[in-house]
Structure 1
Amino acid sequence: MGNGPTPGVLRFSYGIMGSGKSTVALQVHHNLTRRGLKGVLCTLFDRDGTAVSSRLGVSRPAVEVTGDVDLLVMARAHVAAEGGLDFLVCDEVQFYAEAQIDQLGAVVDELGADVFAFGLLTDFRGLLFDGTRRMLEVADEHVALSVEARCWCGRRATHNARLVNGAVTREGATVVIGDTEAPETPLFGDVVTYELLCRRHYGAGELG
């Protein structure tokens, strides 16, 4: 790992909502940091904003990967300022631009750092996110997260269904921030949540 003779790796770990990807991302960052390695935690559109947050209640500040962030330039700057870069942990990579996914590959190839990327495979329509598609194309390793989320019927959940005011919708913007639980007191407008469904009940639009 790091800037030595051993090359870095671009590893993409994926799952649906509720599969624990942010929890694993936080654990990886914690473990590597405790070993004294130099790294950066990144995210985009997390439910807590500029942080990586787990539904277990754990959260840590993170660099927000907005569209104007060049991740290779950021990594080079970290090397110059800190004397090296051993790893990046990147959550919510499904929302990253395709060019930013390529920049993560360049961080591995040019700097020898490891990149641990975490994200969803498909959106609420059941289609690959652009960032996910590019990550599947360029990553060295693809790892399915072992924590299985379940549909209300007990089958393995495979889809993130979007609910607006409690009803399944298949239209709208790709990026709408929500969670698997509705807020106790909606501030205004529609309430957007997500339901984890198996393929059968996603296709039928049936909720438990």
Structure 2
Amino acid sequence: MAELHFFTGTMDSGKSTLALQTNHNHAARGRVGHIFVTRDRAGRGLISSRLGLTHEAIEVDPGFSFWRHVVDTLTRGGRLDYLVCDEAQFYTGAQVEDLAKIVDELQLDVFAFGILTDFRTQLFPGSARLVELADRMHALQVEALCWCGKRATHNARTENGVMVVEGDVIVVGDIDQPTDPGQPTLAGVSEAETDVAYEVLCRQHHRRRLTAARARAVSLAPEQPLPFG
């Protein structure tokens, strides 16, 4: 029986790598699938892993219909056995419902990969709907680490080096790395105006807003107490 799988973890936990590996494993057994992605850091129509792996993919915009795409493919005589859907946290609730419908009505396996919560520690709408509808939910076994060495459980955003917990939910950036020079973010702000980066933290240091850079600054000023709160 076909199933809707949701693989989730923090940033830097290997989601895109596993998505590409999943596609490779199924394709190697003669199965035919399509890969989907949205807002990948490598650009439109690409899925990329921090290990350097890339693959062409179908870009999912807010108005994209998975159901229409699959039905049109099958109607034209194409073959489809499975879908690999990366960055699924950015999908709309309706798109996730389409994926569930494809599993139930067309018996195609769907493998979705995404972050569970945003930098505010709140569920992404797409991830929330996947938690509600998925047949199986998998927590990735590759644990990302906070700068302190503990397991990272939260995604943090920094703007111009300062951790923020408010703002637009979707802004393109990368872990410990600013956006490309001149590249507009999804919030319409260029890097010349705001240097956006992401970092994974344990709950304790996310709550204290203690990023790696701030921890280093504190360590260089021992007379200043650590920020508790």
Q: TM-score range by the shorter chain?
A: over 0.9
1:138 and 1:33 mapped to 2: Cα distance?
26
**1:102-181 residue pairs with structure 2 within 5 A?**
102-181=97-176
Find the counterpart in structure 2 of residue 13 from structure 1: 7
Matched, 1:191 2:195: yes
Find the counterpart in structure 2 of residue 4 from structure 1: none
Q: Is the 8 A contact 1:85 1:111 kept in 2?
A: no
Compute the TM-score of the two structures, normalised by the length of structure 1.
0.94
Q: What is the total number of aligned residue pairs between the two structures?
A: 202
Identity across matched positions, percent: 48
1:185 and 1:117 mapped to 2: Cα distance?
27
Find the counterpart in structure 1 of residue 89 from structure 2: 94
Find the counterpart in structure 2 of residue 207 from structure 1: 211
Which one-letter code corresponds to 1:15 in the other structure? G
Compute the TM-score of the two structures, normalised by the length of structure 2.
0.85
Larger Rg: 2
1:26 and 1:43 mapped to 2: Cα distance?
11
Find the counterpart in structure 2 of residue 54 from structure 1: 49
SS at match of 1:153: coil
Matched, 1:28 2:28: no
1:120 and 1:40 mapped to 2: Cα distance?
21
Which one-letter code corresponds to 2:147 in the other structure? W
* Unaligned stretches of 5+ residues in structure 2: 183-191, 213-229
Q: Is the 8 A contact 2:99 2:110 kept in 1?
A: yes
Structure 1 residue 37: deviation in Å? 1.0
Evaluate the alpha carbon distance shift between residue 130 and residue 184 of structure 1 in structure 2; reply closer, same or farther with a 3 A threshold: closer
Note the aligned Cα RMSD (angstroms). 1.3
Q: Is the 8 A contact 2:179 2:196 kept in 1?
A: no
Which one-letter code corresponds to 1:143 in the other structure? H
2:50 and 2:23 mapped to 1: Cα distance?
17
